[in-house]
Amino acid sequence: TTKLKTYGERATSLPNKTAQELLTLMERKKSNLAVALDVTTKQEFLDIADKVGPYICCLKTHIDILEDFDQDLIDKLKKLQKKHDFIIFEDRKFADIGNTVKHQYSKGIYKIAEWADIVDAHAIPGDGIITGLKEIGLPLNRGLLLLAEMSSKGNLATGAYTEATIEMAKRHKDFVIGFISGKKFNSCEELIIMTPGISLDISNDDLGQQYKTPRNVIENGSDIIIVGRGIYGKGKDAVVEAQRYRNAGWEAYLEKLE
């Protein structure tokens, strides 16, 4: 069997600058943990981001759920990014024609392209969604993830849809840096796999979310585990939980490398 490449060694196998930066910083910080920061006030958002910052490679946002969003939040988020060294991933799940997603990516209230290193998109509209996002994102060295699979019960991103999504990614390797999925796909092993639906404690929520453990998904070729409520949910100490998930993710990765 051939030895698996480390995150750091893989950095040079991708043309996209954000992808290279992400893989390098994972190696440097010894973390394959992304936190999904799904809280609805600025204060909670900045407080948790500052607490978990030292332990994460990536901060995943849903910027449109904040009740008191303003430019000051973005300024402070960028300061925290400098302080702690992480990639920012806005989980926007674009799903429209190229011309529309271009505007959604760069304009409006959030001006996502100005601060998000990575965004994601559904493959359902076809290649035009990537071409549109690329016009905005590539000059800024941004990266895109395609949703090849989803974690929720009954989702339709399976089989032929997943296969077609993988083919679409391969046609845009300058901009598409990887997938949201639960496993690695043959024929594009260099692409980065980010996996949501991760818990060490529970197997589902009441609204269709399904959880796997960090070990489950890393064994299947996931590169980055995405954890939300498992870290800052009711009664949890975000620092303790971030350390616990970071260690679980990194140990599973080291075992895979052996």
Asked if 228 interacts with ligand 5BU (CB under 6 A), we say yes
Point out the catalytic residue in the list 5, 17, 30, 93.
93
How far apart, in whole angstroms, are the C-alpha atoms of residue 165 and residue 127?
9
Least distance from ligand 5BU to the Cβ atom of residue 4, Å? 25
* Cβ–Cβ under 8 Å, residues 56 and 34: yes
Site for ligand 5BU in 50-69 (CB under 6 A): 62
Least distance from ligand 5BU to the Cβ atom of residue 93, Å? 6
Least distance from ligand 5BU to the Cβ atom of residue 102, Å? 21
Would you call 74 exposed, middle or buried from its count of C-beta atoms within 10 A (0-12, 13-18, 19+)? middle
Nearer to ligand 5BU, 53 or 228 (CB): 228
Asked if 229 interacts with ligand 5BU (CB under 6 A), we say yes
How far apart, in whole angstroms, are the C-alpha atoms of residue 91 and residue 46?
17
DSSP 210: B
Asked if 26 interacts with ligand 5BU (CB under 6 A), we say no
Asked if 104 interacts with ligand 5BU (CB under 6 A), we say no
Asked if 91 interacts with ligand 5BU (CB under 6 A), we say yes
The CB density around residue 211, as the number of other CB atoms within 10 Å, is: 19
Q: DSSP of 117-156, one letter per residue?
A: SEEEE-STT-THHHHHHHHHHGGGT-EEEEES---STT-S
- Residues contacting residue 202 through CB under 8 Å, at least 6 positions apart: 211
Q: Which residue stretch of 11-19, 98-106, 144-152, 241-249 sits at the interface with ligand 5BU (rule: CB under 6 A)? A: 144-152
Nearer to ligand 5BU, 22 or 119 (CB): 119
Per the annotation, the verdict on 93 as an active-site residue is: yes
∠ at Cα 246 (205, 203), nearest 5°?
20
Please select the residue that binds ligand 5BU; options are 197, 223, 249, 250, rule is CB under 6 A: 197
Please select the residue that binds ligand 5BU; options are 53, 196, 214, 249, rule is CB under 6 A: 196
Instruction: Using alpha carbons, select from 110, 107, 149, 115 the residue that is nearest to residue 132.
Output: 107
Q: Which residues bind ligand 5BU (CB under 6 A)?
A: 36, 38, 62, 91, 147, 150-152, 180, 196-197, 209, 226-230
